[in-house]
Amino acid sequence: MSKKTVQTIEDIAKLANVSKSTVSRALNDSPLIKEETREQIKAIAKENNFCFKATARSLSLGQSHTIAFITHSYSECFSMEDLFSLEIMGGISTGLTALGYDFLVVHVDPHKTDWAHEYLDSGKVDGFILNTSSRKQYHIKALYEMEAPFIVWGVPEPNYCYPSVTGDNISGGLLATEHLIKIGRQKIAFIGGADYEREVQQRYAGYEKALKNANREVNPLMVTYGDYSLASGNTAMEQLLQQAPDLDAVFVNSDLMAIGAINVIQSKGKRVPEDIAVVGYDDLSIAALNNLPLTTIRQNIPMAGRLLAQNLVQFIKSGVITNVTMPVELVIRKSA
Amino acid sequence: MSKKTVQTIEDIAKLANVSKSTVSRALNDSPLIKEETREQIKAIAKENNFCFKATARSLSLGQSHTIAFITHSYSECFSMEDLFSLEIMGGISTGLTALGYDFLVVHVDPHKTDWAHEYLDSGKVDGFILNTSSRKQYHIKALYEMEAPFIVWGVPEPNYCYPSVTGDNISGGLLATEHLIKIGRQKIAFIGGADYEREVQQRYAGYEKALKNANREVNPLMVTYGDYSLASGNTAMEQLLQQAPDLDAVFVNSDLMAIGAINVIQSKGKRVPEDIAVVGYDDLSIAALNNLPLTTIRQNIPMAGRLLAQNLVQFIKSGVITNVTMPVELVIRKSA
DNA sequence: CTGAAAGCGCTTACAG
DNA sequence: CTGAAAGCGCTTACAG
């Protein structure tokens, strides 16, 4: 804390020759205060670089104006596997700042939920943003039961009602697969995220639909699942190559898995896209920067972040529950 | 906030038939309280899932127990270019959590410093962690003048005294260059971060020393600078290839620039490492996962993050200023 | 060892 | 339109 002499509302009350009630009201733009006095008080505050004590304000108002972003890293530490989280954090931070909220990042043990009580009951935060996580359903249920304000990135669970933001996964699956069909591929495989995730089921539905539309059938040997990580892309691709050595395309549910898949394909002496075309998902920054730039389904991640911020704050303030589905788009680069 | 009936210290005071002073002391492990009463009170607190209101506590104690991580993204949003920030955030978060501090991420306009007053005077945070940034010197000076508690990742400015954590950049430059010499390279180029950065000057000093030790001279045409970003690695490598077409190795000051450099080299039809060997810096997660796994200088980023957290908190609590230089190590993979 | 009371710096219902 | 006062939930010097 700097050694300024005017630190509190009371200090500036003295300077302005009014009560601190009046200062509080003026600085908070209360319509009760006469325009003139308000301007005068604001001028004094500005001149002295005055700044409310957030902590006193929070105590009095019963809200912290801060939101927690709940995350647990894939490995022990943050790494490239968390690039999606990083990118969405950028959007969330932007959105929150614009609304006057602060952005707390909370690393949790995914198998617990006591962090929710801790952060909410202590008044440290007003709500939570749930990101992609293998334990998302578990977290959602816990937060829902305790009536904690939260919003989630992902398709909402049926029979629950809470705010959410998600991409249009069906269209994503459709666009990716249609593109592969359009460029003449005959044997199109699918590498999903975890098969119990609704997002993944929807992308699969899009994949299936595109094939149906082209009068084709899904070959179960060409369908496999990972967990979005690069390593799981390796594994899945190896499995696929074993089960269906003649495949000539694969639609992969994340850019990271796509990069893993490409590495495996190339290590087997096959070429991308000539022998096997690969379409990723997300359009993380790495997709364009990759050695072989990825054709992928773009999710507008910065906007997703901003919407998560805005809609959670709206929910906290007004109780309005918003579920948004964002459009996705096909970005054609080199891998397909 | 859940609808529990016991929310405050006063609630549990009633249950325990003591005053709230006693409850406060017991829960804070004051030696004043009799063991027996303390245990009893703690039991009741636990049973009722009690949790201090952080906001009241902060107001009373005059400290927030939260630290701000100051960041500004390279582009408008977070992207792969911020991978270093992401990885160090993991360590910081871990360190802070262990100390009972919260982790606020603050995106700032790098050309301003008013965020410092805002966050400090409002009591939102107790201190700042300054990450790599093109405006770091400017930020440091501003924080230093206002006597704000902060710690920085990087070599401390001369004539200032504040806590810091940095890697051993001289050894880094030395190890990288010695390795390139050892594998028989004759014309070893250098791609630095910004040339006004002390880190970069030290890495250059290591580079120069290794060459001197081998009885070689630095060729100024083989030295160029970027800003750590992938794109700047492209540019720098192109320049180098123009100025010194016969170079057979390059020591690059970041993994991201190294990846850019490799892309350029390969696009010119040359091979890595056969024609040109490339050593990166940092050992970000992408170094190992890259299509062509990077030989690089590892900085222990998770530990750096933890030390930043610990030493800043120590400084806040006790005024002790710690400057640590962390060892680096050469990691040999495929690119050199 | 324990309690009553003042204080941290705001907000806001209640008077005027 | 403005002020005095109570209250938000803690901590801690002061008494006992």
For A8-52, write each residue's pLDDT tens digit: 998 999 888 998 899 999 999 988 888 888 888 999 999 898 999
Give the CA A100 to C1' C7 distance in Å: 29
Answer yes or no: is pLDDT of B3 > 80: no
- Asked which of A158-162, A206-210, B183-187 is least confident by mean pLDDT, the reply is A158-162
Are the C-beta atoms of B130 and B151 separated by less than 8 Å?
A: yes
Answer yes or no: is pLDDT of A5 > 60: yes
Regarding beta strands B66-71 and A295-299, do their DSSP bridges make them parallel or antiparallel, or are they unpaired?
Answer: unpaired
- Asked which of B39-48, B213-222, B293-302 is least confident by mean pLDDT, the reply is B39-48
Amino acid at A154: G
Which domains, from first to last, does chain A contain?
A: 9-52 (no CATH), 66-166+301-325 (3.40.50.2300), 169-299 (3.40.50.2300)
Tell me the mean pLDDT in the region A74-84: 84
Nucleotides of strand D lying closer than 7 angstroms to a protein CB: 1-5, 7-13
Q: What local confidence, expressed as pLDDT, does residue A161 receive?
A: 95
Q: Is A60 on the interface with B (CB under 8 A)?
A: no
B292 neighbourhood in chain A, CB within 8 Å: 291
Per DSSP, B156 falls in state P
* Helix, coil or strand: residue B286: helix
Tell me the mean pLDDT in the region B71-77: 74
Separation between Cα atoms, residue A60 and residue A42, nearest integer Å: 21
What tokens does B317 get?
């609590």
* Helix, coil or strand: residue B312: helix
Separation between Cα atoms, residue B276 and residue B188, nearest integer Å: 9
Mean pLDDT of chain B: 94
Q: What local confidence, expressed as pLDDT, does residue A75 receive?
A: 60
Tell me the mean pLDDT in the region A288-314: 96
Query: B216: distance to nearest CA of chain A, Å?
Result: 34
* Helix, coil or strand: residue B109: coil
Tell me the mean pLDDT in the region A203-215: 98
Separation between Cα atoms, residue A134 and residue A193, nearest integer Å: 10
What band does B132 get if pLDDT is binned at 50, 70 and 90? confident
Per DSSP, B76 falls in state S
Place of tokens 């009630």: A21
Q: Which of B102, B230, B286 sits opposite A80 (nearest CB)?
A: B286
B59 neighbourhood in chain A, CB within 8 Å: 53, 55-56, 59
What band does A72 get if pLDDT is binned at 50, 70 and 90? confident
Q: What local confidence, expressed as pLDDT, does residue A2 receive?
A: 44
Residues by Cβ under 7 A, strand C: A 7-10, 20-21, 24-25, 27-28, 52-53, 56-57, 59-61; B 17-22, 25, 32-35, 37-38, 56, 59-60, 62
Instruction: Give the closest residue to C8 (Cα–C1′).
Output: B60
Answer yes or no: is pLDDT of A76 > 90: no
Task: Give B186's contacts (C-beta < 8 A, 6+ positions apart).
Answer: B248
What band does B1 get if pLDDT is binned at 50, 70 and 90? very low
Tell me the mean pLDDT in the region B8-26: 91
Judge: B103–A103 Cβ closer than 8 Å, yes or no. no
Give the CA B12 to C1' D11 distance in Å: 16
Q: What local confidence, expressed as pLDDT, does residue B2 receive?
A: 44
Judge: B77–A66 Cβ closer than 8 Å, yes or no. no
Answer yes or no: is pLDDT of A3 > 60: no
Q: What is the pLDDT of residues B311-336, one digit of tens each?
A: 999 999 999 999 999 999 999 999 99
Per-residue CA distances from A233 to A210, A240, A278, B31 (Å) = 23, 10, 12, 56
A87 neighbourhood in chain B, CB within 8 Å: 77-79
A95 neighbourhood in chain B, CB within 8 Å: none
Residue B270's H or E segment, with its range, is none
Q: Which of B59, B107, B259 sits opposite A55 (nearest CB)?
A: B59
